[in-house]
């Protein structure tokens, strides 16, 4: 008996998927902050590759729980691409710390 059928027997699958989704989204927030701080927006393509890989794997895997979690990670990765660019804007506004070792697009802009 596998974990998915056990969870389905007790009607807990939705609860477990919800908890995992909450954890994945919670994990991606500090990842966005750290990636933007260290690498800027140039790391967006990492999340594109991760999102594509997880989405493809979610289509291949037959286990409902595994497929769903991979789908959540995949689409959270796609959403992270947008968040990386928004995080850079939050840094520009001073809401998050700026990495003193990096140059930012607005560094050459005299109006800011």
* Among candidate residues 84, 82, 90, 80, the one with its CA nearest the CA of residue 38: 84
- Percent of all residues in the chain with a pLDDT value above 90, rounded to a whole number: 78
With beta carbons less than 8 A apart as the criterion, state whether 72 and 18 touch: no
* Model pLDDT, residue 29: 95
Residue where the block lists tokens 């989704």: 21
pLDDT tops 60 at residue 112: no
Question: What pLDDT score was predicted for residue 61?
Answer: 96
Decide if pLDDT at 1 tops 80: no
What pLDDT, on the 0 to 100 scale, is given for residue 17? Answer: 94
- List, for residues 56-93, the tens digit of each pLDDT value: 999 999 999 999 999 999 999 999 999 999 999 999 99
The pTM assigned to this predicted structure is: 0.84
Report CA Rg, the chain: 18
Summary mean pLDDT of the chain: 92
């Amino acid at each position: 008996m596998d974990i998915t059928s056990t969870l389905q027997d007790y009607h807990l699958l939705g609860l477990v998927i919800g908890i995992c989704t909450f954890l994945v989204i919670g994990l991606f927030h500090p990842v966005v902050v750290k990636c933007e701080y260290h690498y800027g927006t140039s790391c967006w393509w990492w999340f594109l590759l991760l999102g594509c890989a997880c989405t493809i794997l979610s289509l291949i895997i037959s286990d409902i729980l595994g497929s769903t979690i991979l789908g959540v990670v995949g689409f959270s990765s796609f959403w992270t691409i947008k968040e990386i660019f928004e995080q850079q804007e939050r840094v520009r506004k001073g809401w998050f710390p700026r990495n003193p070792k990096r140059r930012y697009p607005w560094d050459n802009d005299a109006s800011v």
